[in-house]
Amino acid sequence: MEPFLMHDAHALRIATGRSVLNLRELLTTLREAEPEVLRHHLFRFPLHPAYDFSAFGHELAAWAETGLQDAVLAEKLGHFDPYADPATDAVRAALLDIVEEHLIGLSHVPWARPGHELHLMRSILVAYPTGEAARTLRELAAAVRRSSRGSLYFHFFEARLRLCPQDDDFSRWLEVQQGRADAAAVLRRIDFPALRVDEIREQVAATLEEAGR
């Protein structure tokens, strides 16, 4: 049985030099943006503390709310789950559908307030093993409770892009290494886009503790 090797991760942001000023430009961006730019704005938001104060799980929806101040678009984008099919072509197509349909129904194009433009960027994730190895569910629960935002991101969010959208490192280890498909299923049912990072940490740790009793 292999132990669970805890990792931590740090994102380094790189500017593209391009910004989105209005909804029409967002449409163009969604058509043309490089995969790593889409990845940053859709999947790396939980690495930022602002994620915990936002009503939405990805940065495009959050920007529609605070930058464009278009509550309807924000809700439509916020409902979109990029993890359902995280392939670039799939998220690009789904987002284009949402924005195009929304734009058709508008009498004017919403613009971002000055200072609230969407600055397009990409990021490099630097991940590394922390040296912690958990051999039991209780050890893993304790490690999760101590984990940083970057660590939880790596194992719970980023893992879905590495493994498969419905999976994460914790549930994969529970199922494969511990033979605990039941506990893995509980973890997979966590409605994570609706939770703050500390709430996710609490739910994961509590599930592991319960399974370890």
Partner 1 sequence: MNAPGLDAYEPIVGPARIREIRAFAGFLRGVRLLNVNSTAVGGGVAEILRRAVPLLADAGLDSRWEVIAGDGAFYRTTKAFHNALQGHPQVIEPAELTHYLDVNRANAQRLDLDADVVLIHDPQPAALIRHRPTGPNTWIWRCHIDASSPQRSLWRFLEDLVRRYDASIWSMPQFTRVLPHPQFLIHPSIDPLAEKNRELAPEEIAAILERLEIPRDLPLVVQVSRYDRFKDPVGVVRAWRLAARYVPCRLVLAGGGADDDPEGAQVLAEVRHELGDDPRGHVLLLPPTADLEINALQRAAAVVLQKSTREGFGLTIAEAMWKGKPVIGGATGGITVQILDGVTGFLVHSVEGAAYRIRQLLGQPERARRMGEQARALARERFLITRHLQDFLALVLAMRTGIRELLVP
Cβ neighbours of residue 79 under 8 Å, at least 6 residues apart?
none
Phi, psi of 114 (to 5 degrees): -55, 135
Cβ neighbours of residue 186 under 8 Å, at least 6 residues apart?
207, 210, 211
Rounded-to-integer distance, Cα 213 and Cα 8, Å:
27
Applying CB under 8 A, among 46, 57, 78, 150 the residue interacting with partner 1 is 150
Q: Which stretch, 86-94, 99-107, 116-124, 201-209, contacts partner 1 (CB under 8 A)?
A: 116-124
104 touching partner 1, by CB under 8 A: no
DSSP 174-190: HHHTT--HHHHHHHHT-
Q: Which stretch, 11-19, 57-65, 83-91, 185-193, contacts partner 1 (CB under 8 A)?
A: 11-19
Query: Tokens 């740090």 — which residue?
Result: 10
29 touching partner 1, by CB under 8 A: no
65 touching partner 1, by CB under 8 A: no
Applying CB under 8 A, among 42, 64, 125, 184 the residue interacting with partner 1 is 125
Residues 47/11, Cβ–Cβ less than 8 Å = yes
The residue count for the chain:
213
We find the least distance from the C-beta atom of residue 105 to partner 1, in angstroms, to be 28
Applying CB under 8 A, among 32, 90, 128, 164 the residue interacting with partner 1 is 128
Q: Which positions touch partner 1 (CB under 8 A)?
A: 7-8, 10, 12-15, 17, 19, 49-50, 53, 114-117, 119-121, 124-128, 130-131, 146-151
